[in-house]
């Protein structure tokens, strides 16, 4: 049985104009995404700006999302932290709060040695909550290659990987060499990943376009190539923004365009140049079919 199948949205954290967490809006966001058909929610990830939060804010965000979900969809919590001890504490907190699993990065502050990577996940494994190992070699110093994942998969609770290398061939290798579920980790490989066997997608742009995100993933998983291709080509220019370091500002702006504003990003993330926003709007209009001539 696949534990984490379908579209799991890595949700943004709404802020007020003075950068306070807007918990009411966060609850509304969870309700809207669930009503639009997403399969799961992932708070406390990089898209959720966890690194800018106090421990109290982060705990309240996790509790708010789990309470808002009301058991309708699973909640998988991002557990990244500067130390293994802190990460273990967040996994334990998430388990106690009722999360279905955690999305867990390897050590994030430096390039760890392999024994340190394994020891980190071994410590997380002891909590007893299902773990989605998060491979993001672009933003962090370690690449969880298929051979490393094969070793990690021997841990009872490491059941899946969020694959963010950007190489679709990597997904094939993981499926061939491990028994892990593969979850697409970058939006602009969603169709390719789903077609070759990825069973889940931890998504960014579907914060703004959840219905379209669910549709493209299900079409691709069903092998309906012609229908999937038509939709994917519309969405792809927008999906490219998920692979940029400015993804948080970009996706929050998309949500404004989708009439679901969630406030600013917290510094050090600042507003983007106007020409960057113009590019997002052009891609958004194309995606929803309101561009000139569409």
The pLDDT of residue 140 is: 81
Return d(Cα 168, Cα 185) in angstroms, integer: 11
pLDDT digits (tens, 9 = 90+) for 2-42: 899 999 999 999 999 999 999 999 999 999 999 999 999 99
Concerning whether 134 is annotated as a catalytic residue, the answer is: yes
Nearest-10 Cα torsion for 104, 107, 108, 112: -140
pTM of the shown model: 0.96
Q: What is the pLDDT of residues 29-86, one digit of tens each?
A: 999 999 999 999 999 999 999 999 999 999 999 999 999 999 999 999 999 999 999 9
Residue 162 is a catalytic residue: yes
pLDDT at residue number 227: 97
* Residue 246 neighbours by CB distance under 10 Å: 16
d(CA 251, CA 227): 25
Do 11 and 43 form a contact (C-beta atoms < 8 A)?
Answer: yes
Both structure tokens of 111:
């390039």
Distance between first and last Cα of the chain: 41
Q: Are 28 and 64 in contact (CB under 8 A)?
A: no
pLDDT at 291: 54
pLDDT tens-digit series, residues 190-213: 999 999 999 999 999 999 999 999
**Which one of the listed residues 8, 121, 134, 232 is annotated catalytic?**
134
State both tokens at 4: 């984490």
Q: What is the mean pLDDT of the chain?
A: 96
Distance CA 54, CA 62 (A): 12
Helix 274-288 / helix 225-239 crossing angle, nearest 10 deg: 160
Task: Give the model's pLDDT for residue 136.
Answer: 86
d(CA 146, CA 38): 28
pLDDT value at position 293?
42
Q: What are the angstrom distances between the C-alpha of 258 and each of 212, 285, 292?
A: 12, 10, 18
For residues 98 and 111, which has the higher predicted lDDT (pLDDT)? 98
Whether the CB-CB separation of 97 and 41 falls below 8 Å is answered with: no
Helix axes 225-239, 210-221, angle to 10 degrees: 140
- Could you tell me the pLDDT band of residue 109, with boundaries at 50, 70 and 90? confident
pLDDT of the residue at 141: 81
Which one from 8, 121, 140, 162 is the annotated catalytic residue?
162
Which residues 6+ apart lie within 8 Å of 92 measured at CB? 127
Of 244, 242, 263, 268, nearest to 252 by C-alpha is 263
Q: What is the mean pLDDT of residues 170-190?
A: 97
pLDDT band (50, 70, 90) for residue 166? confident
Q: What's the CA gap between 15 and 19, in Å, rounded?
A: 5
């Amino acid at each position: 049985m696949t534990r984490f199948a379908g579209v799991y949205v890595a949700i943004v954290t709404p802020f007020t104009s003075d950068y306070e967490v807007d918990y009411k809006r966060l609850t509304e966001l969870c309700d809207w995404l669930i009503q639009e058909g997403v399969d799961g929610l992932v708070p406390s990830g990089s898209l959720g700006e966890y690194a800018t939060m106090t421990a109290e804010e982060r705990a309240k965000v996790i509790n708010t999302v789990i309470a808002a979900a009301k058991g309708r969809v699973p909640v998988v919590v991002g557990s990244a932290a500067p130390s293994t001890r802190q990460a273990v504490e967040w996994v334990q907190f998430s388990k106690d709060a009722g999360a279905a699993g955690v999305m867990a990065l390897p050590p994030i502050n430096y390039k760890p040695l392999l024994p340190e990577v394994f020891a980190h996940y071994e410590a997380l494994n002891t909590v007893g909550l299902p773990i989605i190992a998060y491979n993001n070699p672009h933003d962090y110093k370690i690449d969880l290659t298929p051979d490393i994942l094969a070793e990690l998969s021997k841990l009872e609770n490491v059941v899946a990987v969020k694959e963010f290398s950007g190489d679709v061939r990597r997904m094939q290798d993981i499926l061939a060499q491990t028994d892990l579920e593969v979850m697409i980790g970058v939006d602009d490989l969603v169709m390719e990943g789903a077609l070759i066997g990825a069973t889940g997608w931890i998504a960014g742009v579907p914060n703004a376009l959840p219905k379209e995100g669910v549709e493209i993933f299900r079409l691709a998983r069903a092998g309906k190539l012609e229908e999937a291709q038509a939709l994917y080509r519309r969405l792809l220019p927008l999906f490219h923004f998920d692979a940029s370091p400015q993804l948080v500002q970009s996706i929050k702006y998309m949500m404004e365009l989708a009439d679901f504003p969630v406030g600013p990003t917290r510094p050090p993330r600042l507003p983007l140049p106007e020409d960057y926003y113009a590019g997002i709007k052009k891609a958004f209009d194309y995606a929803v079919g309101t561009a000139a001539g569409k």
